[in-house]
Structure 1
Amino acid sequence: MTDPFNSLLSTIQQKCDDTAVDMFGKETTSRWKNPSFAAIMENPDSVGDMKGTCGDCIKIFLKFDNNKIYKASFFTDGCGASIVSADAACELSCGKTIDEASEIDGEDIVQLLGKIPEDKKHCAHLASSALQEALGSWLKKQG
């Protein structure tokens, strides 16, 4: 016999999942539930920290090898759109030179995600700004 409370919770969770898929698409919703790059990196070579007008904060951590980004991760206290945007920024930056990564902007992140609500696109630009801040920090350290 199924517990009515658990059944209700399952129904609510399914409705939330369906709404997320409608808003973000299947792939982006999957990224939100299981981001590949979510971690506070120990001993990063550089960090970019940006706070959006919405109040979300995104930190991008980078490690370099021969002037290429070989590892990236992020932390955010923000919404699902901030999570997927920061995750996408990390994905796009890995393996890139500083010059290549400096060209990554919010529209590149939106394009990779495929589907993001118009009122959440600012999160992609916030993630891009955090990445650019991390790159700037690295360049400053290099003199």
Structure 2
Amino acid sequence: MVTMSEDFDTFVNNLQEQIFDEAREAFGDAGFERWRNPRYCGPLADADAHARVTGECGDTMEIFLKFENDRVCNAAYRTDGCASSTVCGSFAAEMTVGKTPEEVADISGEAILEKIGRFPDEDHHCAFLAAETIREALGQYMRNQTPHGNK
């Protein structure tokens, strides 16, 4: 005899597999893995730069950058957004590590999407939010590097 608890467990397991299958289809293997195991998740307490940007969709992204010898040595992100924001924030933070400020400035929404691979068209704005947040953090870092009084 199958108990109600066993029926429920089977239902939940099947539902979880369906969600995972749909997420893998939407994000591709790399994006799915990053959604399941985000990397560079913040905050970063000793960051040299931090920015917080809220996108038109209402998601907020934060990027934290730590520099050493004029290169990003550590980065992190935080978002209150959806799975797509999580995936984009994680890849965006990763893409800054080891880069000079000039190289970080070249990280675009398109570059983030290319790094992820497959990504839902309706969520492309998440990559552009992550790129904008990187630019804001980099701008803060660069302003802090300029001695006050010099223009």
Q: In the alignment, what sits opposite 1:38?
A: 41
Q: 1:65 aligns with which of 68, 79, 89?
A: 68
- CA-based RMSD of the aligned residues comes to 1.1
- Give secondary structure in 1 for the equivalent of 2:39: coil
TM-score normalised according to structure 2 size:
0.91
Q: Equivalents in 1 of 2:42, 2:8: separation in Å?
A: 34
Q: In the alignment, what sits opposite 1:16?
A: 19
Q: In the alignment, what sits opposite 2:103?
A: 100
Query: What is the identity, as a one-letter code, of the residue corresponding to 2:26?
Result: M
For residues 1-143 of structure 1, the aligned pairs below 5 Å read: 3-143=6-146
Moved over 4 A (4+): none
Alpha-carbon displacement from aligned partner over 1:4-30 (angstroms, at most 9, x marks no partner)? 211111011011011111111122111
Instruction: Quote the offset at 1:43 in angstroms.
Output: 2.3
The worse-fitting range, judged by mean Cα deviation, of 122-131 and 23-32 is 23-32
Runs of 5+ unmatched residues, structure 1: none
Corresponding pairs, count: 143
- Give secondary structure in 2 for the equivalent of 1:3: helix
Sequence identity of aligned pairs in percent?
Answer: 35
Alpha-carbon displacement from aligned partner over 1:88-131 (angstroms, at most 9, x marks no partner)? 11111100000011011000000000011111001000000000
Q: Equivalents in 2 of 1:89, 1:69: separation in Å?
A: 12
Structure 1 or 2, whichever has the larger Rg, is 2
TM-score normalised according to structure 1 size:
0.96
Instruction: Quote the offset at 1:49 in angstroms.
Output: 1.0
Instruction: Quote the offset at 1:3 in angstroms.
Output: 1.7
Runs of 5+ unmatched residues, structure 2: 147-151
Instruction: Quote the offset at 1:67 in angstroms.
Output: 1.1
Q: Equivalents in 2 of 1:53, 1:79: separation in Å?
A: 13
